[in-house]
Amino acid sequence: MKIEKDSLLYVLQWGTHGQVLRYELDGTFVGKFTTIGTTRSIGLDWDTECNLYVSSYSENIVRKYDQNGVEMGNFISNSLQGPTNIWFDDNGDLLVLNWDRSSVMRFDSTGMFIEHFIEGLSYPEGVLVLPNGNILIGNTGTNSVKLFDADGVFIEDIVESGVGDLFQITAVVAREKQMVAVVDNKKKSNFLRSTIGNGFILNDLFEDIIKIEVFNLSGVLVERKDRFAESICDKGKHVDGIYIVKATTASGAILMQKVIVKN
């Protein structure tokens, strides 16, 4: 399951009709998203055009759906051996964990096989791509969580075999542990100041900010800017409401500010 940009929770189903279901973040059922189910589905991800891709462990395929959940056929129809989790990298390639092949396979944006990106795994399921590009993979054969760099080179077992009675891994998820830090001479100042127009302007006291991220009240990231531009939190992109803006400084300090968007 994943939370998409529309702030809805998308849930796969292993059995029954296999359709993707959607829920509000308070658990309220929204409805069936996909028109045709994908049986024994495990992995899902979206491309840059918001098309949805779902893997089927039993069918050895990755099925494609458009933005409205209409089935568009098989994106990958061969080469797979028990696909579990899938994800798109920054180049637009699709990476697939293969449970039975014990590898990670790479496919291009057309679904054509490129390479075995990582080999030597043992029944992989559960994946997390870290902000620095490193990859955590659940390795069920050894009941461990393995860390690889962005090029697929093994670094270490970040959770060693058997630690904490880890068994039959199905997912790897991390939450960011943050410490909000503000330099003393800036404590009484907001790092953003409001404007009449399309955004918020950076306070001149905060020249060391290198990244801005905007979250809605459900905690979903709705906008990111790696470098500070003319304005941030583009009001035209978001519905009226309250948002939390997170700023990261060059020293690694985290600043948080609540803003109200009124279009």
Q: What is the 3-state secondary structure (H, E, C) of the chain?
A: CEECCCCCEEECCCCCCCCCEEECCCCCEEEECCCCCCCCEEEEEECCCCCEEEEECCCCEEEEECCCCCEEEEEECCCCCCEEEEEECCCCCEEEEECCCCEEEEECCCCCEEEEEECCCCCEEEEEECCCCCEEEEECCCCEEEEECCCCCEEEEEECCCHHHCCCCCCCCCCCCCCECCCHHHCCCCCEEECCCCCEEECCCCCCEEEEEEEECCCCEEEEECCCCCCECCHHHCCCEEEEEEEEECCCCEEEEEEEECC
- 194 domain residue, yes or no: yes
Q: CA–CA separation, 107 vs 111, rounded Å?
A: 5
pLDDT at 236: 54
Q: The domain that contains 215 carries what CATH number? A: 2.60.40
Enumerate residue ranges in the chain where pLDDT < 50: 178-188, 230-231, 235
* Report field, pTM of the whole predicted structure over 0.75: no
> 250 lies in which domain range?
184-261
pLDDT at 147: 96
First to last CA, the chain: 32
pLDDT at 185: 40
Q: Do 60 and 83 touch, CB atoms closer than 8 A?
A: yes
Same domain membership, residue 115 and residue 192: no
Q: CA–CA separation, 243 vs 210, rounded Å?
A: 19
On the CB side of 26, CA atoms within 13 Å amount to 2
- 150 domain residue, yes or no: no
pLDDT at 62: 98
pLDDT at 244: 84
* Domain final position from 100, 120, 140: 120
Q: The domain that contains 68 carries what CATH number? A: 2.120.10.30
Q: Do 112 and 91 touch, CB atoms closer than 8 A?
A: no
* Amino acid letter, 207: E
Strand partners, 215: 221, 244
- 152 domain residue, yes or no: no
Same domain membership, residue 108 and residue 207: no
pLDDT at 192: 74
Same domain membership, residue 103 and residue 204: no
Q: Which residues contact 245 (CB under 8 A, 6 or more apart)?
A: 192, 200, 212, 213, 214, 215, 232, 233, 256, 257, 258, 259
Burial of 54 (0-12, 13-18, 19+ CB in 10 A): buried
pLDDT at 235: 47
The total of structural domains in the chain comes to 2
Same domain membership, residue 206 and residue 106: no
Same domain membership, residue 116 and residue 10: yes
